[in-house]
Structure 1
């Protein structure tokens, strides 16, 4: 791809396709910059999607006497289709930058595209923002849950932030749901850095041995995996907890791309001629799939009015 970008500065347009093996680093960058993907189950998608079984009811067992009739039970399952949808981004840079160091530009482009994919994916998965997976009949995003806890509700002497997080756990288990992990926005990180539990231990335990992108901090809250990154907050909501086994995601094939110095693109809301401004645009496209088949398995954590979550010490 480096030689092709170098050539395009002087020759014009081209198009291409990165097969899965070469495209994987881009998907890896998106995974490292996402807070949703590490928590959710990844599946293999085909071009036409895939039908996956989801459990609706679980089988039960009962004690019986010797020679007694054995109880009959049934575990309910349903097939749900996960369909891939296209996600795209256009990177625009001056032709002089590409010409001077095409290899360095491609190296820098990969994490930028990965982060752009990750943020767009997370916002669709969490809030249904510009999501092709959401409909009126099927909200298919985490924030559709009606379970909500406001951080700062508990007084400092009553456990502070620890009690607030535990209140979310309580909402879930009382509804026969599980808590497998947390996703919080970066704006909540300073709050967790000073928060302690009821015995004075740090509430958020980071994972320095886990290799992640600088945009994501991995750790544990209430003994569960927790990821803190950009793009999670919207309005008053700053994070989520819940059963992430109720969500799945996947990608199809590789990444398609094309580069142009002649097209007209929208930059800051205005149509801009690449040729007139000596610019190079690289358009990257990939297909992702997403499914949240139990929105009631999640709880939203909202920021207290005024952004004050209280002193947790």
Structure 2
């Protein structure tokens, strides 16, 4: 893939070529467990009203000449709206000379940071927008902690998760969650995490549902630490507006409080801006938060 032709005499803004932007966007999706498991829909800049069937009609047996029952489905709606996730990095002009190095750094590091910001907001509410953006931080907590050595407490926790969400179709486990599933046993003495891969990208299965590995599923806030998220991922929807936007500029850069970070061209500095516009909605009653030990933040 060709590099971006930027040198000391370049001024203004230079956007990355479309093929580069597309490659970065694909890396973002690969790094985000939410983007990988939830349903993806087309999203406009103005957002979209998303309708959901909450309950079906309830037919009943009726006798001859008896009046048929009236039962209407229940329909709800939510607004799926795009929200901006962005970051600006600053580099000296000396670093700008080695543009292939900067380019490779963008490819390697920015997708993961943008994906993590999105996942942490959607899964744990960290930095999430205050409106028109759902989070799973209020989903029911289910302990998978093995409180007594040699028991099946952890396995019982996974069973409780399945009982709470009968339509559970995937587990997203952090390293700590995977350790719990591998180091504890079910009632037959086998490992809770079955190594048989059911779905591309999964690392195995638990109780018939595929397991996906993601460190974004871990959260250590107040109370027990969250080791993973599980549920019916058809009840979660995300969308994007266009692709990832990455620009390189020698304009001045300011901090969020208005403080000048660098004068740009005058200081022989450049700024690299990366942003995506994404939205997320979900029915948190169809998910559980898998918890372990209580740890300090």
Equivalent residues of 1:237, 1:303 under 8 A apart: yes
Which range moves more in the overlay, 122-131 or 58-67?
Answer: 58-67
> What SS is found at the alignment partner of 1:203?
coil
Equivalent residues of 1:17, 1:255 under 8 A apart: no
1:122 is displaced (CA, Å) by 0.7
In the other structure, the counterpart of 1:297 is 286
Select which of 111, 115, 132 maps to 1:114. 111
In the other structure, the counterpart of 1:171 is 164
Distance 1:171 1:275, change over 3 A: same
Could you list the per-position Cα deviations for residues 99-155 of structure 1 after superposition, in whole angstroms to 9, with x for gaps in the alignment? 23x3454244124221111100011101222212x34xx78210112x222232553
The runs of 5 or more residues in structure 2 that have no matched partner are none
Paired with 1:277 and 1:164, the residues of 2 have a C-alpha distance of 57
The 5 Å alignment of 1:243-282 reads 243-264=232-253, 272-273=261-262, 279-282=269-272
Q: Over the residues paired in the alignment, what is the CA RMSD in angstroms? A: 3.3
Q: Give the TM-score normalised by structure 2.
A: 0.81
Which range moves more in the overlay, 247-256 or 65-74?
Answer: 65-74
> What SS is found at the alignment partner of 1:61?
coil
Distance 1:257 1:30, change over 3 A: closer
Select which of 40, 43, 53 maps to 1:45. 43
Equivalent residues of 1:8, 1:14 under 8 A apart: no
Paired with 2:203 and 2:114, the residues of 1 have a C-alpha distance of 19
1:228 is displaced (CA, Å) by 2.2
1:240 is displaced (CA, Å) by 1.8
The 5 Å alignment of 1:137-216 reads 140-145=134-139, 147-153=140-146, 155-173=148-166, 178-206=167-195
Distance 1:67 1:219, change over 3 A: farther
> What SS is found at the alignment partner of 1:284?
strand
Paired with 1:248 and 1:237, the residues of 2 have a C-alpha distance of 22
Distance 1:84 1:65, change over 3 A: same
In the other structure, the counterpart of 1:24 is 22
> What SS is found at the alignment partner of 2:216?
coil
In the other structure, the counterpart of 1:129 is 126
Paired with 1:225 and 1:197, the residues of 2 have a C-alpha distance of 17
The 5 Å alignment of 1:54-93 reads 54-64=52-62, 69-93=67-91
In the other structure, the counterpart of 1:287 is 277
Could you list the per-position Cα deviations for residues 151-207 of structure 1 after superposition, in whole angstroms to 9, with x for gaps in the alignment? 32553444232222112223335xxxx322222223333333333322233322457
Paired with 2:24 and 2:94, the residues of 1 have a C-alpha distance of 24
Aligned residues: 289
Q: Give the TM-score normalised by structure 1.
A: 0.77
Paired with 2:198 and 2:270, the residues of 1 have a C-alpha distance of 39
